[in-house]
Chain A
Amino acid sequence: MTADELFAATTAEFPKLEKAAAEVKGYLTLRLPAAGDLLPVVTWLKGRGFRYLDMVTATDYKGPVEAKGFVSDPNPNGFLPAGARPEIEVSAAVAGFPYRDAFEAVYCLSHLEEKIKIFLKLELPREGAKVPSLAGLFEAADWQEREVYDLLGIVFEGHPNLTKILTPDFIQGHPLRKDYEHPSTHGVLRLGLTIKGEVITKAVPDIGYLHRGTEKLAEARGYHQCVVLSDRWDYCAAMPNNLVFCLAAEKLMNVQVPERADYLRTIMCELNRIASHLIFFGTYGIDIGAFTPFLYAFREREMILDLFEMVCGARLTYNYIRLGGVMIDVPPEWVAKTREFLDFFKPRIDEYDTLLSFNPIFMDRTKTVGLISAPEAVAWGLSGPNLRGSGVAYDARKFEPYAAYAKVAFEVPVGETGSCWDRYFCRVLEMRQSVRIVEQCLEQMKEGDIMAKGVAKIPKPPAGDAYAHVEGARGDIGIYLVSDGGPSPFRLHMRAPSFMNLAILQQSLVGKKVADVVAVLGSIDIVLGEVDR
């Protein structure tokens, strides 16, 4: 199905729908005339196979306003020297951009088999904004709508539990509104369990202990500075974060990245995936009660970090992938060093299999625990190894190949039953695939430029919307970016895979034994920096 066919089919069913004036670049974007049209259209789309809800978010289109607090006060904490101002100031209104007293809700749905995404946009008044909730159709809407309610104050009618999710109760107001006033006033997760004997009857994850407000901060940073913020979302695998933000911004700026940079980006993301899966492998062993794998995993991980240090000097927060390419070319001895590491690493994966994967005790603890069926996983919007563990082969690298993924051969490993062990083993298999990808990239990569020409020091992309998504270590990371033509993003929303993956605990823990909670939670492999942003 192409976007045009989809558009024809949708408008034949709903003649009132039309293409949105500001379309999300490269995707079919439809404008819904009124809030009442949302449920019929989405129900119809779901019946046509759009069973995966990627993203629910909203933007406040009120123009830049002088609000007290962090944006208007350049030095709220005396952190900068007296008289200094941040490089990027609060953006002034840009002429020609349609600022208005309105919210715009944005929904993104995917057809996993046909590999197509559709965006729906709905304009809402700023006062008393109300939309019907999609929680009855997609479980994935549950937390995403709560997030929009918390940060923007849009009420979702019919939502089963519309309460604040990221900000604590004592923070009043909705931070992502443009006129929000700043009140003067490994991650932590609280899991509230109601138990009957050893059996869990209710599970309520309490998040927000690492909510750093990056989506708001991005509105006061330049595009280059946002890359720095992106490092700290999923800090176990920062490279894909860098990449997804750059891809979205490059779509806005119409920048073509040189081929060598594409290869370097692919190599770095895959090495980072291995490093991140190694952390999972080590800590999941600890969660189950096996300490030794941790020491093995971190030995290999340090070697990957050495490789990263050679190219960009950092071990964790790289800021290596930049708008238009990468920061710097790899040093001459780096390729040989990487090959050396891959040769060392390949037999180690077999070692992990004997040590943990096929260890009878480990298998007993995980093989029949935490089962998530494929339809459940899709409805809750899981992604990454958690979705693939249930047997759904959705991988952004195959769905819409970016960087150099179209040029390399690799497989997408899937599990069978969706148990903790399946999710775990998917990651082990993915490490093998990542090695394959890096080897092919090293083979194919040619000398050349690493940075596109003409990326400004303070970029001001033309007004518009863009969405980019990549396969991070934890799943499908999406960035929805709105530019008003100013020096900083007008709105940045991150579709955080961990945030979506965590929500399913509300359902999947019920009926389980208390002793299995850690096994299930560990197998989901969340990073709180990404959950809370």
Chain B
Amino acid sequence: MGLVLEKLPGLAEGVPGGGVFLTTADALIDWTRKCSVWPLTFGLACCAIEMMASYASRFDFDRFGVIPRPSPRHADVMIIAGTVVKKMAEPIIQIYHQMPEPRFVISMGSCANCGGPYWDSYSVVKGVDKIIPVDVYIAGCPPRPESLMYAVTKLQEKILKMKLSATHGAAPQQDKGSREIAAA
């Protein structure tokens, strides 16, 4: 209890007599969500190597509660680490819809943001945000593990601002991306 009060300063109030505390459902749920952002083990290209490095010895993402999961059904966040090719676009949409809500997307690296070095290629989707909504973008080719770490903290800030009442329990996500692939 002491830990909870410490972690939620100003939000929880101790009730005299002990054993009970009051807070808003939003604050509690957002806090728990924020502390276990589980990404999907899913790498597309070069950025995936930096993502692997983030999970490994030096950067140790487990510290943030970021533990990769092999199934989209268990995952909260999809890190699009690499170039999205037109052949891959359809599977990405399928995987995205298999994730339970609320679900989040981090677009890692220039390719996922806008096509990067392949901005004029015939087979590359120029930005993953053309097919699914994106929460956080990271610049870099590839971004360093520190950048990914920063992106996760940004996502956590975003999660802390979520409200149940605004969305009837679901996350403020659209079902489809704002733009079509064909618009490339």
A residues contacting B by CB (< 8 A) are 69-71, 76-77, 79, 167-168, 170-171, 175, 180, 182-188, 208-214, 216-217, 220, 228-229, 232, 235-236, 279, 282-283, 294-296, 298-299, 301-302, 305, 315-317, 528-529, 532
CB distance from A341 to the nearest CB of B (A): 15
Q: Does B112 interact with chain A (Cβ within 8 Å)?
A: no
Give the contacting residue for B118; candidates A188, A212, A235, A283; CB below 8 A: A212
Give the contacting residue for A77; candidates B52, B57, B114, B123; CB below 8 A: B114
CB distance from B183 to the nearest CB of A (A): 8
B residues contacting A by CB (< 8 A) are 43-46, 48-50, 52-53, 56-58, 81-83, 85-88, 91, 114-115, 117-124, 126, 141-142, 144, 181-184
Q: Which residues of A contact B43 (CB under 8 A)?
A: 186-187
B57, A212: Cβ atoms under 8 Å? no
Given A185-B86, A211-B85, A317-B142, decide whether A76 and B120 contact each other with a Cβ distance below 8 A. Answer: yes
Q: Which residues of B contact A216 (CB under 8 A)?
A: 121-122
Interface centre among A186, A213, A305 (most CB of B within 10 A): A186
CB distance from A286 to the nearest CB of B (A): 10
A182, B122: Cβ atoms under 8 Å? yes
Give the contacting residue for A70; candidates B82, B83, B122, B141; CB below 8 A: B122
Q: Which residues of B contact A532 (CB under 8 A)?
A: 85
- Given A182-B122, A302-B57, A315-B50: 14 more A-B contacts, CB < 8 Å: A69-B122, A167-B87, A183-B122, A184-B183, A185-B184, A187-B48, A209-B44, A210-B82, A213-B121, A214-B121, A216-B121, A298-B53, A299-B56, A317-B142
Q: Which residues of B contact A77 (CB under 8 A)?
A: 114-115, 119-120, 126, 184
B86, A168: Cβ atoms under 8 Å? yes
Interface of A is mostly: loop
Given A77-B184, A171-B86, decide whether A295 and B56 contact each other with a Cβ distance below 8 A. Answer: yes
B44, A187: Cβ atoms under 8 Å? yes
CB distance from A143 to the nearest CB of B (A): 17
Of all chain B residues, which has the CB nearest A212?
A: B118
- Give A184 to B183 CA distance when docked, in angstroms: 7
B45, A79: Cβ atoms under 8 Å? no
Given A77-B115, A77-B126, A217-B120, decide whether A298 and B58 contact each other with a Cβ distance below 8 A. Answer: yes
CB distance from B132 to the nearest CB of A (A): 16
